[in-house]
Amino acid sequence: MIEQFVQKIIAGTSYEELDHFYLVNKVRALVGDQDGEITVNSDLSLAQQLVDLAIENKKISDDLTSREILNDQLMDLVTPTPAQANHQFWDEYKKGPQAATKFFYQLCQDNDYIKVKSIAKNIVFEKETRDGSLEITINLSKPEKDPKVIAAAAHQSTSQYPQCQLCMENEGYLGRLGYPARSNHRIIRMTVGGQQWGFQYSPYAYFNEHCIFLDEKHEPMEINRQTLINLIDIERQFPEYFVGSNADLPIVGGSMLAHEHYQGGKHIFPMMKAEIRTKFSLAKYPAISAGIVNWPMTDLRLSSDDTQQLINAGADIMAAWKQYSAPELQINAESNGEQHHTVTPIMHRDGDTFILDLVLRDNNVSDKYPDGIFHPHQDVQHIKKENIGLIEVMGRAILPARLKDELSKVEKYWLDQPNKIAQYHVAWADKIKTSQKITEANVTDVLHQSVADVFARVLEDAGVFKNDKTGQTALGKFVAQFN
């Protein structure tokens, strides 16, 4: 087993046959001196079999954290150094951006940084709803938390290294209880908006070539004019990818607000395919086509090949939204000195045309909606309670792993089979059961459609100007100020 892994290292890296004994001893130091036979046709990779061997040799304990750390240490040996990976990436880039991203994406799959087998476990389907076609994923790829991690959390220090999972210092980090192993992690260095940034792929990708662009500095996320400059700069460098940012406020923002970063990848989301419902004009910016998108959330789309006008127009709209209030619609720009308005900005290209979607966000709360007025309301939280981030904004639901088991019990409930349905699903399940005939032949289709319909409601809840006469009239007045 050790011998074959060493041959894999030599075949795929800059190591040579002269390094053979050196590499054998590197691997033995990690897994022990007792060798093992390879299990042919195993579902486990060679590295995972070596992890099992290390447990047998009592080099590590048999727990999730120890397994992950050792697996990534082994895969680090088949991975170019950060400097080598960067040289290869930018050498490939000379052939074109797609050649470079193809090289790096393949590298991150081959070295098991992107958890391909785990991602394949995710449940993914697409359904038509009243708000158009929506994509649903139940995220099963991330492993459950190790009980040791939960116990250790109570004793963790507030100061830690790395400061967060998006810091450059993660590259090559061993890992620890409650913090992922990153020995085989590589970050491509690049310049964005005149500053040093990094480019990496997401280990538990939510869509094709899901990548992250991260600031070299550990600074909080902030949506402003510079954000638009940065998104355009990234689009110039990687025109085949979309790129966007989570909002920068709690409730409407993503889960990692402490570090400036954007997400991107090679995927066409439902929102990107949605058409313009109403056009509006921007008097100061004649080179821009503008319109309100036919989407459950409030999306203002600006398109142009004049990137300077696009930046200026986008900045004007963001500034106007940050101070806009319509109390009759529960839209309030600030309270007690706290700002409540921001945007989720998303950029992609169609040839030479840059397309900017500005999705308006509001993080106000009320007695009726303590989790957020423009957040999934209580009656849909049995399906989706978490923040509506960048990916959901664009029409792809990221639903929690608990739903796999819970929804299978809903199916049994509908079919009058023995079940232990969660109480918070019962009212929803009863409403669906009484509205249509459910059989073993159609139960899964009914379930998928019902979940997609809930996600449509989730997006409607998050929309600041509702798609009714009152909401659209107010939105029309908001955009009219730019004419």
Model confidence over 79-95: pLDDT tens digits? Answer: 999 999 999 999 999 99
Has residue 402 been placed in a domain?
no
Enclosing domain of residue 393: 122-154+189-397+465-480
Q: Do residue 44 and residue 130 come from a single domain?
A: no
Q: Do residue 147 and residue 269 come from a single domain?
A: yes
Q: Do residue 142 and residue 100 come from a single domain?
A: no
Q: Quick check: 68 pLDDT over 70?
A: yes
Q: Do residue 335 and residue 376 come from a single domain?
A: yes
Has residue 178 been placed in a domain?
no
Task: Output the average pLDDT for the chain.
Answer: 94
Has residue 73 been placed in a domain?
yes
Has residue 455 been placed in a domain?
no
* pLDDT for 155: 54
Has residue 446 been placed in a domain?
no
Write the CA distances from 32 to 56, 111, 183, 275, integer angstroms: 9, 22, 19, 60
CATH assignment at residue 220: 3.30.428
> Whole-angstrom Cα distance, residue 220 to residue 75?
32
Mean pLDDT over 83-111 rounds to 98
Mean pLDDT over 375-382 rounds to 96
* pLDDT for 110: 95
Q: Give 353 or 149, the one with higher predicted confidence.
A: 353
Confidence of residue 360 (pLDDT cuts 50, 70, 90): very high
Total of domains in the chain: 2
* pLDDT for 42: 76
Write the CA distances from 123 to 31, 32, 126, integer angstroms: 34, 38, 11
- Containing H/E element for 338? strand 338-339
> Whole-angstrom Cα distance, residue 73 to residue 60?
13
Structure tokens at 150: 């939960």
* pLDDT for 35: 86
pLDDT in tens, 283-300: 999 999 999 999 999 999
* pLDDT for 300: 98
Q: Do residue 143 and residue 104 come from a single domain?
A: no
Flag whether the pTM goes above 0.75.
yes
Q: Do residue 217 and residue 361 come from a single domain?
A: yes
320 contacts 456 by C-beta, under 8 angstroms: no
Q: Do residue 47 and residue 146 come from a single domain?
A: no
Residue where a domain terminates, one of 90, 116, 142: 116
Mean pLDDT over 304-323 rounds to 98
Q: Do residue 144 and residue 100 come from a single domain?
A: no
Has residue 406 been placed in a domain?
no
* pLDDT for 437: 95
Residue where a domain terminates, one of 91, 116, 141: 116
- Containing H/E element for 442? none
Structure tokens at 358: 């500005």
Q: Do residue 148 and residue 80 come from a single domain?
A: no
Alpha helices in 141-289 (DSSP H): 147-153, 225-237, 270-273
Q: Do residue 347 and residue 198 come from a single domain?
A: yes
Confidence of residue 178 (pLDDT cuts 50, 70, 90): confident
Q: Do residue 81 and residue 59 come from a single domain?
A: yes
Q: Do residue 390 and residue 473 come from a single domain?
A: yes
How many CA within 13 A on the CB side of residue 270?
28
Has residue 342 been placed in a domain?
yes
Residue in this structure with the two tokens 């009656």, named with its chain if needed: 379
Alpha helices in 251-331 (DSSP H): 270-273, 307-322
* pLDDT for 271: 98
Has residue 79 been placed in a domain?
yes
pLDDT in tens, 311-320: 999 999 999 9
Strand, helix or coil for residue 415: coil
| Exposure string over 391-426, b if 16+ CB within 10 A, otherwise e | bbbbbbbbbebebeebbebbbebbeeeeeebbeebe
